[in-house]
Amino acid sequence: MGTPYRSGAFKRSNDSTRLVITTIMGMVFGYFVGISFPSVSLTKINLPSSLISTLDYAFNDDHRRAIERTFPENLGSGSTPLTPKIYVPSNPRGAESLPPGIVVSESDFYLRRLWGEPSEDLTKKPKYLVTFTVGLDQKYNIDSAVKKFSEDFQILLFHYDGRTTEWDQFEWSKRAVHISVKKQTKWWYAKRFLHPDVVAAYDYIFIWDEDLGVEHFNAEKYMQLVKKHGLDISQPGLEPNNGLTWQMTKRRGDREVHKDTEEKPGWCSDPHLPPCAAFVEIMAPVFSREAWRCVWHLIQNDLVHGWGLDFALRRCVEPAHEKIGVVDSQWIVHQVIPSLGNQGQPMNGKAPWEGVRERCRNEWAMFQDRLSNADKAYFAQHGKTRV
């Protein structure tokens, strides 16, 4: 009686083995068919339905599990999946349908790795952002300037001549951020790449020209003085005999910082207003994060030279005559290199720099008109008289 039982068990075992081998061969066959004919659907091949189901499950199981983990709300009963009903009006515009915990409204220029844990990407987070708008002809000048800034300062170069790879001869350039668009000004770049939410990680933002001598400038000491004197908008003092336009930005040799000056008779209707106070020039300004959030909105999208902007910066801090100033003990030299003028085009018999300068003056007048008209419209709407 025992022998037939063992024989039957062996037969069933043999059948199971054949089934497993058949299944494996079918899967191998299907794999090679898929490689040879990638457009062929499995449902058009005459394979057992049980084998097709097995393959579908094997290919889709991981994907299905990922979906279930990510969107558990879609697992409701019935044919219509459950969808989240979220509306948070306090979220940033356009993100109202997202749960606040997933919204990331700010960014930075910190460089990230392509591997490893995100939390371990940064060994040090720079506290300040320094931008220069540059051409390769001034590479040695910029090299000298960048070396004045420690690892606390993130370097960002805007390239108006389209030449970026040549800067790799400097070791620091490999850690800098490079943005290249030909024949554009620093205020064009600032409006498009320095949105307040993009630079929110930095306490202060430097927006500097390329023709600045920094032999007598120390970035750490500069920041100490800016914080000590409560300056939200500032610039280093200018060496008196080079590139000086306004008395306000002239370096004083007997103090750390000054916030006002005396100008030519009739130039200042109020000693607390530009150009006698609440004023720095646009060649080397430094903005606190809070001040820059306002200034960015003040920059006009189509007025790329920034002329006239320096007279309006006072609207972004209060009281302006206390929070805007010039740091005298950390001073620079304006080298007055006409690189921007050379980016123009000759027109109507005029040299390239002449057309650039003409547009600068026109933009200043246009900015003044826009600001004046905006003031009038606001006061008229609110029934107030401008003082």
Q: Please write the tens of the pLDDT for every residue from 72-117.
A: 555 444 555 566 699 999 999 999 999 999 999 999 999 999 999 9
- Angstrom CA distances, 332 to 179, 206, 208, 213, 238, stand at 25, 14, 11, 5, 5
The band of 51, judged by pLDDT with boundaries at 50, 70 and 90, is very low
Dihedral of the alpha carbons of 42, 47, 52, 53, in degrees to the nearest 10: 150
Return the H-helix or E-strand segment holding 13.
helix 2-36
First to last CA, the chain: 116
**Cα–Cα distance, 387 to 373 (Å, whole number):** 15
Residue 98 and residue 109: Cα distance in Å, rounded?
Answer: 25
Look at the block and give the residue holding tokens 């002329």: 307
Q: 167 near 135, Cβ under 8 Å? A: no
What are 236's strand-pairing partners? 327
Tell me: the pLDDT tens digits for 289-310? 999 999 999 999 999 999 999 9
pTM equals 0.78
Flag whether pLDDT at 58 surpasses 50. no
At 301, give phi and psi (nearest 5°). -65, -35
Q: Which of 375, 370, 354, 242 shows the shortest CA–CA distance to 302? A: 370
3-state class of 43 per DSSP?
Answer: helix
Find out whether 276 and 261 touch, Cβ atoms under 8 Å: yes
Nearest one of 196, 213, 211 to 148, comparing CA atoms: 213
- Would the pLDDT of 358 be above 60? yes
